[in-house]
Structure 1
């Protein structure tokens, strides 16, 4: 427990260090800040019924939008802290990026030992890429928490035989899905696809006897109860979306189905698969080692090779253990991991040429979990002799990610006072190094020299017009 608290404390430090000053505040963030400030000041009736538009989907008419739950989190933050400062609207992402760490540990304990769970949690907590996605406001950022929350609730729901507790695990699972599906379009399909396939596996619907049990009177009554509970939770979080569709004659639903039928980039399937493999190798390498941030696999043979080897062995061990493990919960955990990786990989093929680091928020935990299966195998095979090896691998992963984070912090600090080449800021397209601290400094400087009543002229790049205006 003490070791976990140390990990959490360290994770909090790297997430809050110079949080306000180095906060990224670009066009999307300033657009949301204008809207949310109006709601915080004038009342919740100014909140939107729909959320951010889905950027990866191009429609002929209109645009597809997510649910508004992320805006509501930001609104609550503004009301709680009685402020409309840009950093306040980033607090929900900061909170969930910290809360996911103890939650991940609980999730891992459904299968792994306490020590292996701690190792995996520590590597996750100090991953360079995960830290970056914890330090600014963007609707996909909190998905990492709700992915784990959903899968934890689902595993407990499927394997808890106590009726009263089972209902609460169902609520937890549906809360994770309904919120997570409003944070990113990829999260929507990933959560539904993985959860649905895991339920099919758990119920063994291909088995005639298992299938017959599902249609027994008691089973049908229980299913109806679970359906009504799930529907109730769904309506709580999706009511604004439903109201919006009623008011606009189903416009967003129409856009959703148009998006499902839309075709991706016109490229051969083989070309997309090759690109998908390359992108997965690159981003899993970045996620686990903080290397490969320039998309140059040839110059990162060692980290790419190490990551690929460890994950491949982990996947093979999942398949092996599925054949020998008898515990239902352990089998569900193994299958969940396999589906988690496989479903995501399949979903990325159509958009292989559009992949960005944010897509991998869905699978932030997967490479570290696969490494945990390798740890389990080594210690079962070699006993106490492997303890040093697993600890050494964990320390190596922590070391390269802490190094990457320190270099990024140094880059951030340098960018505050001089022109700096930006290499390690991977979260946004425009890598200009401009943060909230610089924007605030510029506006303070202008206002200090501005005479009341005079018109103020200034020139900035287009992406800084709205942030400066805020």
Structure 2
């Protein structure tokens, strides 16, 4: 009865919230499968999880993704286990694996509203939900499978549960604390940023807010921690502390520490201000391609940069003033969480940059809800202005709603056109690439190669950028076309189907020395050239069975320590590590070759190699 009365009392609010949620669902799910972003990271995860989907859960690994930089510290396997559930329920296909991210992103919509209501009024919370639902940044990272993409939902759930456990009037505070702790343990297994940032927020928050829980609640938290980290513990026992050694090695050589303190501090201030502004407004041209473009000395988009820093500075002033003045316990706990969330994430990004590493837009997924809360604090101040407060809030809300609508229209328009016309875009602020390639394009390319293959059943060899080669091979192998090896310059087979898959307009002069172009097939952003070997270039009739190779990603996956290997009593040996080293060397050589052909600088080549090795893992 009480629940029914609440619905009647807040009928208009509920209807408005539901309408916004439906809008958010539409933006996240529209043409989800056809326009899916599916590249080297996604193909790796799919190949890794697929054996468990097809042949049993014991094929899952005991460790998760690496923390970057090749053979290094691996996090826990939570994301792979979640992706396994997604593929098991929705199908062992790229969209089936990605449904996890879509569902979590949809669930984050009502959760974000509930989180905001811990502090803000109905009016402000609905306004913030409207921006969250239509945020270009949030929508973009909701539409494909990638471990960082689940962070906004999981972090919101963990922090919402934590705040409820702090409330004196909460009847099930102990249960909420266990739920929060369990989610936070999972979060630390999702991404390296969260592994450090989330515990560093929660521990001081517990000290400041001093919640009281039963002893058995703390025992339950420790039990949850042990259970969820048991795969990692078992793996380290079986591999004689290999993961721990990688962890120590990672920090002993943590970057080159380039640049002085003040320079890096200014750059990180620019990073935070610019990315916060991007997340709320969808304005994605305020960041430079490289961090060197973040100083005021660069005149490009200078006004936007100043606006971003001014907005962040004003929001921080309001935040600390509100914390100082706030008397209500529940609202003060919320503000303490926001303060620590910002300070810890900012400090972490400074450490990352000071250590010589780059900061990418995806890193801010660990703090993605923060910019909306900061904007809400500014709206709250505007709302208190007599007579015109409501008008000012609506006017302020209209700006990010309009800019995000413009950004989403451009984004969806690009996705709609990439299969029809050559389209190159600068998307550094959302994705670190300069082109959009959709799953439907990849299917079309794989269908074309299959049609050629069915005419003669000759092995297929092709060249493509390292991000796309394993992806196309994933699709081809699903069609029964088995990988035989890489396309090599020094070995040319007569009985073979040769292709080059490159951005439309690319130069293929290097291929014309040994091949004749038989057909050119355009797929919008990408073009496929089909080659026939010149008679004088042929070195061998056909590849021998003993010469056939295994794809790099599959080689790497076979080295993972799975539950099957554990149950069979197999251990990781030095020979396995030697194979991993060889795989890395092969990947590095391939990426370097791509970089040279693209005319990249030495610094850009190094960055490509680092990203490529991360992708490999």
Q: Same fold (TM over 0.5)?
A: yes
State the Cα deviation string for residues 129-155 of structure 1 (Å, max 9, x = none).
111111111111101111111111111
SS at match of 1:174: helix
Matched, 1:145 2:153: yes
Aligned to 1:136: 144
Aligned to 1:244: 235
In the alignment, is the contact (CA less than 8 A) between 1:375 and 1:390 conserved in 2?
yes
In the alignment, is the contact (CA less than 8 A) between 2:72 and 2:250 conserved in 1?
no
User: Cα distance, 1:303 vs. partner?
Assistant: 3.7
SS at match of 2:463: coil
Query: Quick one: which of 374, 377, 398 aligns to 2:401?
Result: 398
Aligned to 2:281: 289
State the Cα deviation string for residues 16-41 of structure 1 (Å, max 9, x = none).
11211221111111111112111110
Separation (CA, whole Å) in 2 of partners of 1:318 and 1:400: 25
State the Cα deviation string for residues 272-309 of structure 1 (Å, max 9, x = none).
21221222232222222222436246433444344333
SS at match of 1:142: helix
Matched, 1:362 2:366: yes
Matched, 1:225 2:216: yes
Matched, 1:78 2:82: no
Query: Quick one: which of 434, 438, 441 aligns to 2:441?
Result: 438
Aligned to 1:117: 125
State the Cα deviation string for residues 218-257 of structure 1 (Å, max 9, x = none).
x7xx553232111122223222112211211222133234
SS at match of 2:147: coil
SS at match of 1:463: coil
Greater Rg, structure 1 or structure 2? 2
User: Cα distance, 1:398 vs. partner?
Assistant: 0.9
SS at match of 2:421: coil
Higher strand share: 2
Aligned to 2:270: 278
SS at match of 1:22: coil
Aligned to 2:503: none
Aligned to 1:211: none
Aligned to 1:318: 319
Aligned to 2:603: none
Separation (CA, whole Å) in 1 of partners of 2:128 and 2:168: 25
Aligned to 1:52: 65
Matched, 1:160 2:168: yes
Aligned to 2:73: 64
Aligned to 1:30: 43
The alpha-carbon distance between structure 1 residues 315 and 294, as it changes in their structure 2 partners (threshold 3 A), is closer
Matched, 1:14 2:18: no
State the Cα deviation string for residues 187-231 of structure 1 (Å, max 9, x = none).
12111111111112113xxxxxxxxxx9xxxx7xx5532321111
* Runs of 4+ off more than 4 Å: none
User: Cα distance, 1:314 vs. partner?
Assistant: 2.2
The alpha-carbon distance between structure 1 residues 439 and 158, as it changes in their structure 2 partners (threshold 3 A), is same
CA RMSD of aligned residues (A): 2.0
User: Cα distance, 1:366 vs. partner?
Assistant: 1.1
State the Cα deviation string for residues 65-118 of structure 1 (Å, max 9, x = none).
11111111111111112x211111111111111111111111111111111111
Aligned pairs, number: 447
Give ranges in structure 1 of 5+ residues lacking alignment.
204-213
Separation (CA, whole Å) in 2 of partners of 1:46 and 1:105: 39
In the alignment, is the contact (CA less than 8 A) between 1:288 and 1:307 conserved in 2?
no
TM-score by length of 1: 0.90
State the Cα deviation string for residues 316-354 of structure 1 (Å, max 9, x = none).
122222222211111111111111111111111122251
Separation (CA, whole Å) in 1 of partners of 2:319 and 2:287: 29
In the alignment, is the contact (CA less than 8 A) between 2:427 and 2:435 conserved in 1?
no
SS at match of 2:301: helix
Give ranges in structure 2 of 5+ residues lacking alignment.
1-13, 289-293, 475-617
In the alignment, is the contact (CA less than 8 A) between 1:90 and 1:136 conserved in 2?
yes
In the alignment, is the contact (CA less than 8 A) between 2:286 and 2:304 conserved in 1?
no
In the alignment, is the contact (CA less than 8 A) between 2:274 and 2:286 conserved in 1?
no
In the alignment, is the contact (CA less than 8 A) between 2:319 and 2:339 conserved in 1?
yes
Identify the structure with bigger relative contact order (alpha carbons < 8 Å, sequence gap 6+). Answer: 1
Matched, 1:460 2:439: no
Aligned to 1:308: 309
Aligned to 2:351: 350
The alpha-carbon distance between structure 1 residues 455 and 260, as it changes in their structure 2 partners (threshold 3 A), is closer
Matched, 1:269 2:271: no
Separation (CA, whole Å) in 2 of partners of 1:67 and 1:54: 10
SS at match of 1:454: coil
In the alignment, is the contact (CA less than 8 A) between 1:177 and 1:188 conserved in 2?
no
User: Cα distance, 1:358 vs. partner?
Assistant: 0.8
Aligned to 2:570: none
User: Cα distance, 1:452 vs. partner?
Assistant: 6.0
Aligned to 2:531: none
> Which stretch shows the higher mean deviation, 359-368 or 296-305?
296-305
Separation (CA, whole Å) in 2 of partners of 1:427 and 1:38: 31
